[in-house]
Amino acid sequence: MASDVFYYKGCTLSDVVLIVQVLIAIFLFVNSLMIFTFFKKAAFFTNTRYIFFAHTLLCDSIFLALTDALLVMSYSRAPMKGGLCIFLVIILENLTIATPLTLTAMSLERYVAICMPLRHSELSTPMRAIYSILLIQALSSVIWIIMISILFSAVSLRFYTNPLICSLEQMIVFAWQGHLSSALYQLYFLVMSLVIAFTYVKIMVAARAASSERKTSTNKGLRTVILHGFQLLLCLIQFLCPLIESIVMKINMNLFIELRYFDYICFILAPRCLCPLVYGLRDKDFMVVLKYYALFGCSKIVFVFNMDKPNPKWRKKITAVR
């Protein structure tokens, strides 16, 4: 039971709230530092995979901040106006889909870099990355546009001014609306899962056929796709949580709050904490620049960039920095 988790070894729900705030603060700090690092080096924001990485960091940071605020309000049972709740739910619904879609795009970028190296510089350009992000945002908007349109047609004007405990469940006015939302999410994640599985198989085949010189890069790309698949799995489980939470909420409100914290830590916080690990701390080029700025430039560091592009204008020569 959720209560067993949150009161394990004398840990009260208030303690868990404090622990979550500390974790959120740490991850927001790390994400902010990585975003700052991204914009400080032109070699990063002229490269497709780093552009996708920065987009994921930005989406995850906003998502973590807003969900944490709503979670604290849910714990304290602080109400807000229905109109403001709709606005926040729209942002969160958009970001919920945007992150896994970006992970899928990053897996495709690794597929092109490893399996189609001669066309990588042609297909993987900063402008194409920007167009891809716009497409990701458009696709992320489909579900919330449908759900909010149903809400607008069903509720009275008083709903927008009445105070309520803000959550996604408040936006579901019909049982079939919840089923429709679940079906759309499952369709999205089925397509994304198939794409990631396709890139995994192709990269695995390329890894077996690769020469010893390319095996290291190919195997690293394979591990990256596996981690993306694991993140996607956690995100998929996240969409099963509201169904369980809505049932628990009708039975016991206190148990619902505790269960929501458990789901938040395991299936919302955890997947979005993997992104800095996958593309930040594991990337030597990014890590060395991140370390330089994290230490306020107090040590001598040599930046070495390998941008996976044969075109010299996209490469950075080895540069000594103080």
Structure confidence at residue 103 (pLDDT) = 86
Which CATH number belongs to the domain containing residue 38 in this structure?
1.20.1070.10
How many structural domains are present in the chain? 1
Residue 28 lies in a domain: yes
User: Among all chains, which residue has been given the structure tokens 């938040």?
Assistant: 264
**Residue 317 domain flag:** no
Query: Is residue 34 situated within a structural domain?
Result: yes
Residue 223 DSSP label: H
Dihedral (C-alpha) 246, 249, 251, 257: value to the nearest 10 degrees?
A: 130
Rg (CA), the chain: 22
Residues in the chain predicted with pLDDT less than 50, given as ranges, are 1-10, 307-322
Q: What are phi and psi of 172, to 5 degrees?
A: -95, 110
pLDDT value for 9: 41
Mode of pairing for the β-strands spanning 163-164 and 80-81: antiparallel
State the residue range of the domain holding 74: 13-282
pLDDT at residue number 298: 64
Asked, for residue 298, whether it belongs to a domain, the answer is: no
